[in-house]
Structure 1
């Protein structure tokens, strides 16, 4: 069973997918979106869901550090609901606090240039979100 991991932002959607056993997450791509125009990359997501035979979707849920949900978190909840309605798959909101910063630190440590980091940061954040979810799931 493959699981799709998503890092939902205002301009991009980072995408990762698990291996068939649900142990590891691999980055797939970053999809350009336009939240203001209601374009969320759902057509491309449908292609990826079919290509990888995805059975579950995990969406990074950006809570504030004190655990409250702000405007970005509310937008993510709406996006997750739209995914459920569009694809009829289970959608899990997974706490993503600090995932983008952790991805940024990892890329800096790997000496990736600022220009290249900007292109892959959302995909890397999706990998970190999905890997955290998989690790938690496999501990149970």
Structure 2
């Protein structure tokens, strides 16, 4: 049972998957978004390829816990994903995950150009890892 984690953005969607036991998350790539909606086909391919049985989508909340316009977009994306892939889709609070990913890459002295290439999949891995950790504590 693998879980796929997504960091949804306007241009790119970071993708991560869990190990079979659901303990660790690894970034696997980035899917470019398009007006035609081809990203859903690519995400379906990745879900099949990695044998994902459920999906976690990062939900950007405001610091006070409310859901703003960006969060509403992610909720709509998650609903469409649920309908198209016919898999359970969970929303997970992703506050500060991109900031955390950026900080980690800066501390590792990764160049700006390389950071841009991996930041989305790293944020997806952080979202998924946070979800897995919370799930294991229940």
TM-score exceeds 0.5? yes
Residue pairs, 1:81-92, within 5 angstroms? 81-92=79-90
Measure the CA separation in 1 of the matches of 2:66 and 2:100.
21
Residue pairs, 1:1-140, within 5 angstroms? 1-34=1-34, 37-39=35-37, 41-140=39-138
Instruction: Report the Cα offset of residue 4 of structure 1.
Output: 0.2
Instruction: Report the Cα offset of residue 40 of structure 1.
Output: 5.6
Instruction: Report the Cα offset of residue 46 of structure 1.
Output: 1.0
Instruction: Report the Cα offset of residue 39 of structure 1.
Output: 2.5
Q: Secondary structure at the match of 1:132?
A: helix
Residues 130, 104 of structure 1: CA spacing in aligned structure 2 closer, same or farther, 3 A cutoff? same
List alignment gaps of at least 5 residues for structure 1.
none
Q: Segments of 4+ in structure 1 off by > 3 A?
A: none
TM-score (norm 1): 0.96
List alignment gaps of at least 5 residues for structure 2.
none
